[in-house]
């Protein structure tokens, strides 16, 4: 019986896999990673109601002035946040 070991490299950001290490290095460098020291993060919050401590919107301004905006959407699971009665679901 013959045993072969095949090495696969995986992108640490998206999980893409290849036997070619250079291909994965290119993949990793092609991703834009948010929150670097040169990025600006703008936040907006709800003024009233429940869960006002969490940002409603996050805007990342990248070094090339590209803006990426994320708006939250509550899930049914509520992730431990308090409801209007102050209870955790």
pLDDT, tens digit, 9 for 90 and up, residues 11-58:
998 899 999 999 999 999 888 776 666 667 788 877 666 667 778 888
N-terminal to C-terminal alpha carbon distance within the chain: 57
Distance of CA 15 to the CA centre of its chain: 14
Give residue 57's pLDDT. Answer: 85
* 55: helix, strand or coil: strand
85 or 10, which is more confident:
10
Listed in order, strand segments (DSSP E) in the chain are: 9-10, 17-18, 40-45, 55-61, 67-71
pLDDT for 51 equals 66
3-state secondary structure of 27: helix
The pTM assigned to this predicted structure is 0.49
Phi, psi of 30 (to 5 degrees): -80, -15
């Amino acid at each position: 019986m013959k045993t072969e070991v095949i090495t696969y490299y995986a992108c640490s950001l998206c999980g893409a896999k290849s036997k070619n290490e250079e291909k994965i290095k290119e993949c990793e460098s092609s991703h834009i990673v948010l929150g670097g020291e040169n990025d600006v993060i703008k936040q907006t919050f709800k003024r009233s109601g429940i869960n006002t401590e969490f940002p409603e919107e996050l805007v990342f301004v990248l070094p090339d002035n590209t803006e990426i905006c994320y708006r939250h959407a509550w899930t049914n699971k509520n992730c431990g946040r308090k409801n209007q009665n102050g209870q955790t679901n």
